[in-house]
Structure 1
Amino acid sequence: MISKNKHYRGNFLLVLMVVFALIALGSTAFIFLKQEKNIGNKIYPNVYLDNQNFGLKSKDEIVDFYKKKSSELKNTTVTVFYTNEPVATYSAQTLGIKYDGKTTAERAYLIGRSTNLPSKYFQKFLSIFNLKRFDFESQIEYDNTELKDFLALSEDKYNLPAKNALFKFEREKVVEFRKESDGLKIKSNQFLPDFDKIVMSFKTEVSNKKVVLNSEVIKPEIKLSDINEYGIEEFIAEGKSDYTHSIPQRVHNLTLAASKFNGVLIPKGKVLSFNDAVGDISSLTGYQPAYVIKEGKTV
């Protein structure tokens, strides 16, 4: 008798559990279908755009929302700086800076509407029963054609090739000499991504922005110290004069004398002899009669 009672009690509990399960399943299905009907062509619940809940909003409402946000950008500017100086300024209207509301709305709308059937109903279930939050970030779009033109002009204006050193020694004279010099190159590949980041920062703060056009130093392949055995490593000084107000004969004589010095290599620890470098000064060596400056006067 006791055994039969236990058997009946066990069956009763099993039936009760099945009934509760069916009720729960039915309630879930009822809520699900009711919510589905309420949603219609609207965004599913728990869909967030830029951390704002757009559940049960229409695509048109999202587009209108981002149109309004785009209008807040129309008076802003982005100024480009190079070596701490402003070199260009672009307005939001010039570049067409605006939120891409249509794409953002479409991404939000696709939650619960996947072409993959299991994925679609799984998203619906998670959304309707508040089991998952779906987050999306809006995007700001703009036309960068003018920026590319600006970069091309900047490269022509600021880019400088590095120059290798020159040193050639013949017949006890330096016949070719040039100290190496660094070049400069605009970081064009970095500028557009940097500009993108600045534009995206409008999402958190609507204000005029600044972006830096960076450059890098290009080192020469050949240094002066690498191509001579005399320990010459740098260019020290240079003297120039055009002798504008001198008579032609004096200009001739000075040019001839200067040519005697050009390329003379002075060994370390030695003294330059002016007389030895210039040599004989006479008509036989090509000099012409001309006045000289003595004690501040021409004679």
Structure 2
Amino acid sequence: MGLFLLILAFLAIFELSFKEKVYPGVKVAGILVGGKTINEIEDYFEVQNAAFANLAFTFTFEKKIATISGEKLKVGYDSKLLGDQAFLIGRSGNAASALYQKFGKTNLASSYRFDSEALEDFLENFAQQIDIPAQEALFQFSGGRVTAFRPSAPGQALDRGRGKNDFAKLLSPPTSGAIVLEVVSVEARVKTEDVNNLGIKELLGEGKSFFRGSIPARVHNISLASSRLNGILITPGEVFSFNQALGEVSANTGYKQAYIIKEKKTILDDGDATVYAPRVDLKIKNDTPAHILIQARVDTKNAVLIFELYGTSDKRKATVGKPRVWDQVPPPPDLYQDDPNLPKGQNRQIDFAAWGAKTAFDYKVTRPARNASHSEAGGGEEVLQDRTFMSNFQPWQAIYLRGTRE
């Protein structure tokens, strides 16, 4: 009976001694914290957190980079959690387990924290350089042609949740490091096929032509001509005529005089050097299952003319072989033409020397075979075109206008 009372007295004194302190055998991250109060443990780890202030975390997406310090994200030990956990050892669970913990040894693993809101703000700011809103479709039809068109296009958004999770992986323990961010696709709410019933729903093909160095008058003519082709619809089975769609090319229809080649001379005249109506015409037959929409636009900043064809793809694929060049001929000597509009002694180059040559390239168009009779043996493809284009380029001399005006 006396021993029992002695044990009870010991336990009472023990509990009173550790009423607001962690029990003696408790460690946190290998550091003995027994006998300390919660506040003392918190203060200790807050001091240790100073070592994490200079950590640097680099977030990258493609060629974009942003860095933030451990100090701004308040990276470090979760001192409050560690203090609370240490204090609860021996004070929770069943009586037998609690008694063992009071006098046994327990080593708590480190817990780390960061300012979640600060990281979210940082990622949100960085996302301004990354996020691309989805493009909603637009289709307006008037007077037999499409007057306004914008295809739908998916956007992208920074995967903020994944970025946050990947950052957290650098905190066990906290070390400087790099996080490669990813994006998720953002679909348009209004798709191209939703705004028309003509089968115009996807890009079939695109072509670009550069005109850097062209005089302002030619840039004007290119812009004017492209505007007259923009928005044209080619119905299924219809043969599109470039010359017919373009119409008359003259001063009467808004074109400015530009340099053309006439009778082997480069002169200012109405028209364009690459329009040969009515002798030569570009014709395109729409043999696809839906309408084809022509979109033409001019990027004057980058000096490029862009044509896009939209419709319904039948999965055809065009391949162009490697060009072959032979029988190259050097350009003739430079040619000087007297020009009374330029002051005497001033020359202006209006054309550049080019070698002549014979050239050829192979062109093939295929699509998945619709039935066995159209497919090549074992190929599963229907050949729509398979031909070789040949051109004979004449050598061309550099041409200068030579001023004669006194």
Question: Retained in 2: the 8 A contact 1:113–1:120?
Answer: no
CA distance in 1, matches of 2:34, 2:195: 76
Whole-angstrom distance in 2 between the partners of 1:251 and 1:107 = 75
Matching residue of 2:302: none
Query: What's 1:221 paired with?
Result: 189
What residue number does 2:101 align with? 127
Q: Secondary structure at the match of 2:206?
A: coil
1:90 and 2:68 aligned: yes
The one-letter code matched in structure 1 to 2:169 is I
Sort the Cα spacing of 1:34 and 1:253 in 2 relative to 1 into closer, same or farther, 3 A: closer
AA aligned to 1:230 is L
Per the TM alignment, residue 181 of structure 1 is displaced from its structure 2 partner at its CA by 1.3
Contact 2:89 2:102 survives alignment (8 Å): no
Distance in 2 separating the partners of 1:49 and 1:185: 41
Indicate conservation of the 8 Å contact 1:32/1:125, yes or no: no
The residue that corresponds to 1:66 in the other structure is 45
Range moving further from structure 2, 220-229 or 69-78: 69-78
Q: Does 1:78 align with 2:57?
A: yes
Q: Is the 8 A contact 2:170 2:176 kept in 1?
A: no
| Mapping for residues 11-30 of structure 1, pairs under 5 Å | 22=1, 25-26=4-5, 28-29=7-8
TM-score, normalization by structure 2: 0.51
Aligned partners of 2:224, 2:80: CA distance in 1, in Å?
78
1:159 aligns with 2:127: no
User: Relative to structure 2, which stretch is displaced further, 146-155 or 260-269?
Assistant: 146-155
Structure with the greater alpha carbon radius of gyration: 1
Matched AA of 1:80? F
TM-score (norm 1): 0.65
Q: Name the counterpart of 1:246.
A: 215
Cα distance, 1:158 vs structure 2: 1.9
User: Alpha-carbon deviations, 1:110-136, whole Å to 9, x = none?
Assistant: 55679xxxx998886453465xx7775
Which 10-residue stretch deviates more, 25-34 or 225-234?
25-34
1:201 aligns with 2:172: yes
- Aligned residue runs from structure 1 range 111-190, under 5 A: 111=89, 125-128=99-102, 130=104, 138-143=110-115, 147-190=119-162
Greater helix share, structure number: 1
The yes-or-no answer on 1:298 pairing with 2:266 is yes
Unpaired segments ≥5 residues, structure 2? 268-406
Do 1:47 and 1:135's aligned partners in 2 also have CA atoms closer than 8 Å? yes
- Alpha-carbon separation, structure 2, partners of 1:125 and 1:67: 30
The answer to which of 177-186 and 267-276 deviates more is 267-276
What is the aligned partner in structure 2 of residue 231 from structure 1? 199
State which drifts further: 254-263 or 238-247. Answer: 238-247
CA 1:55–1:161 in structure 2 vs 1: closer, same or farther (change >3 Å)?
closer
Structure 2 distance, partners of 1:255, 1:42, is 83
Please state how far the C-alpha of 1:246 moved relative to its aligned partner.
Answer: 2.9
Q: Distance in 1 between matches of 2:95 and 2:75?
A: 37
Q: Percent identity?
A: 30
* Alpha carbons of structure 1 residues 282 and 67: separation in structure 2 relative to 1, 3 Å: closer
Number of residue pairs matched? 265
- Contact 2:55–2:70, Cα closer than 8 Å, also in 1: yes
Provide the C-alpha distance between the structure 2 equivalents of 1:98 and 1:184, rounded to a whole number of angstroms.
33
Find the residue that maps to 1:237 and give its secondary structure.
strand
Please tell me whether the aligned partners of residues 23 and 103 of structure 2 are also in contact (alpha carbons under 8 angstroms): no
Give the 3-state SS of the residue equivalent to 2:175 in structure 1: coil
Q: Deviations over 1:187-215 (max 9, x none)?
A: 345544553x235321xxx5322334332
**Structure 1 or 2: larger strand share?**
2
